[in-house]
Amino acid sequence: MEKDTICVQGGYEPGNGDPRILPIIQSTTFKYSTSDEMGKLFDLEADGYFYTRLANPTNDYVAKKICELEGGVAAMLTSSGQAANFYAVFNICESGDHLVVSSAIYGGTFNLLVNSLAKMNISCTVVDPDCTEEELNAAFKENTKCVFGESIANPAVKILDFEKFAKAAHAHGVPLIVDNTFPTPINCNPFKFGADIVTHSTTKYMDGHATSVGGCIVDSGNFDWTKYPDKFPGLCKVDETYHGIVYTEKFGKAAYITKCTAQLMRDFGSIQSPQNAFYINFGLETLALRMERHVSNATKVAEWLSNCDKVKWVNYPGLKSDKYHALAEKYMPNGTCGVLTFGLGTREESARVMDRLKMIAIVTHVADTRTCVLHPASHTHRQMNDEQLREAGVLPDLIRLSVGIENVNDIIADLDQAING
Ligand SMILES: *Cc1c(COP(=O)(O)O)cnc(C)c1O
């Protein structure tokens, strides 16, 4: 099926007499007739639900739909995008290990990987996504376990050169993990270009209506863990907490997601609630339609801003003049996303224009139906001075504009009165 059909029909396929609409299985527990049947579930000997902290049918149907959209072999939902990125990485590394991380990633993920994982003795080498192959290769160490990047960086809107990153990761015997939140699987499938694991903050375009925080991890099934048993002992050697099973032997291509559910969900418990999974599924049904409109609106807004005298610069990979346009054309030929950044010269002027906006709201959110703005220098990065901001790759006058699906003339009219009025 085509992706827009999967959005509507994928995941849940009701049988005769079943509810037509994905049911919300709002139950923490599941009943069994014999003690032995339940025991087999605890040993991962049989397939089935027993406690919603590990798995729930509503969540699994939604994960299956996202898995189909990405072209993966297995997927799981998490309570947030943060949890998805933490689990995706922590599933294959432990104390003493090392990661190679692109510098152009979401601030929350940067903190997680660079600062919080350091407290677990997991270190990172941060690389510029535009570095040369030599520079990238030099970042790897004996104990490197994965490479992490974002397909379109939030908020830098830089495009990851998947093939360069996948080649370096695979040459060093480790997987490439890509956060594909901004383009969504509608506009980009990182597995086609060598990524091994994909993560999502479903909070953004997938939910799309700003109702439910959530995340997802999808495995391509392409990375052969068994080639490196000493590097990935958690997957290739016995798990004593499940009576000595070996995930790669017992679960084959589903080994990574099964281990992530059976160990990390069991122990850390960042499960999606079935009610929120239902809302995410609602969003997914119209994802293909909405992404098309987000892209066409953002392209028109970016062009309008580029022609506006008071606007000093605009970054949108959909613009022909953008530094990342060629990579966008290569990896996301149908368009990128609805997010762009622009600047008005100074921190004060950007803040002044934002205060004058009427319809477009100032919110700490991005990628939903309603157009919104954020000024990192005044909000998420407000503790930094101008010099520190530049080092972090965030210009003091940078406004992140998340273009929604309203009529584009109304979006431009609001920007016009705020900038030029
Ligand atoms: C928002 C975001 C996250 C974090 O997701 P939450 O659902 O807020 O936990 C991770 N990656 C990207 C690219 C994001 O935009």
- How would residue 389 be classed by pLDDT, with cut points 50, 70 and 90? confident
Nearest CA to ligand 1 atom 2: 201
Is it the case that residue 66 has pLDDT exceeding 80? Answer: yes
CA 224: distance to chain centroid? Answer: 23
Query: Residue 212's domain spans which residues?
Result: 3-282
> Do residues 224 and 331 share a domain?
no
Q: Model confidence over 254-307: pLDDT tens digits?
A: 999 999 999 999 999 999 999 999 999 999 999 999 999 999 999 999 999 999
Is it the case that residue 391 has pLDDT exceeding 90? Answer: no
Angle (CA) 79 150 204, round 5°: 45
- How would residue 394 be classed by pLDDT, with cut points 50, 70 and 90? confident
> Do residues 36 and 168 share a domain?
yes
- Dihedral of alpha carbons 211, 71, 218, 191, sign: negative
pTM of the model: 0.97
- How would residue 252 be classed by pLDDT, with cut points 50, 70 and 90? very high
> Do residues 262 and 310 share a domain?
no
- Residue 381 has a pLDDT of 79
Q: Which amino acid is at 199?
A: T
> Do residues 326 and 272 share a domain?
no
Q: Is the CB of 204 under 6 A from ligand 1?
A: yes
> Do residues 349 and 270 share a domain?
no
Is it the case that residue 219 has pLDDT exceeding 80? Answer: yes
> Do residues 242 and 309 share a domain?
no
Which percentage of the chain shows pLDDT scores above 90? 90
Contact assessment for residue 211 and residue 231, using Cβ atoms and an 8 Å cutoff: no
274-285 helix and 287-306 helix, angle to the nearest 10 degrees: 70
Q: Model confidence over 164-175: pLDDT tens digits?
A: 999 999 999 999
**Ligand 1 atom with least separation from CA of 366:** 15
> Do residues 268 and 406 share a domain?
no
Is it the case that residue 54 has pLDDT exceeding 90? Answer: yes
> Among 227, 262, 282, where does a domain finish?
282
| Alpha carbon distances (Å) from 204 to 124, 339, 404 | 26, 11, 12
Task: Count CB-CB contacts under 10 A for residue 96.
Answer: 10
Q: Is the CB of 215 under 6 A from ligand 1?
A: yes
Please tell me whether residue 348 adopts helix, strand or coil conformation.
Answer: helix
**CA nearest neighbour of 219 among 250, 190, 245:** 190
Q: Is the CB of 397 under 6 A from ligand 1?
A: no
Q: CA–CA separation, 74 vs 411, rounded Å?
A: 39
> Among 282, 310, 325, where does a domain finish?
282
> Do residues 136 and 74 share a domain?
yes
Q: CA–CA separation, 352 vs 391, rounded Å?
A: 24
> Among 282, 299, 323, where does a domain finish?
282
Q: Is the CB of 109 under 6 A from ligand 1?
A: yes
Which percentage of the chain shows pLDDT scores above 70? 99
Q: Is the CB of 154 under 6 A from ligand 1?
A: yes
Looking at the structure of the chain, the number of domains it has is: 2
> Do residues 304 and 266 share a domain?
no
Contact assessment for residue 153 and residue 104, using Cβ atoms and an 8 Å cutoff: yes
Contact assessment for residue 225 and residue 85, using Cβ atoms and an 8 Å cutoff: no
- Dihedral of alpha carbons 73, 77, 78, 83, sign: positive
**CA nearest neighbour of 265 among 86, 41, 28, 54:** 54
CATH of the domain at 149: 3.40.640.10
Mean pLDDT, residues 140-167: 97
> Do residues 38 and 184 share a domain?
yes
- What token pair was written down for 308? 């506006």
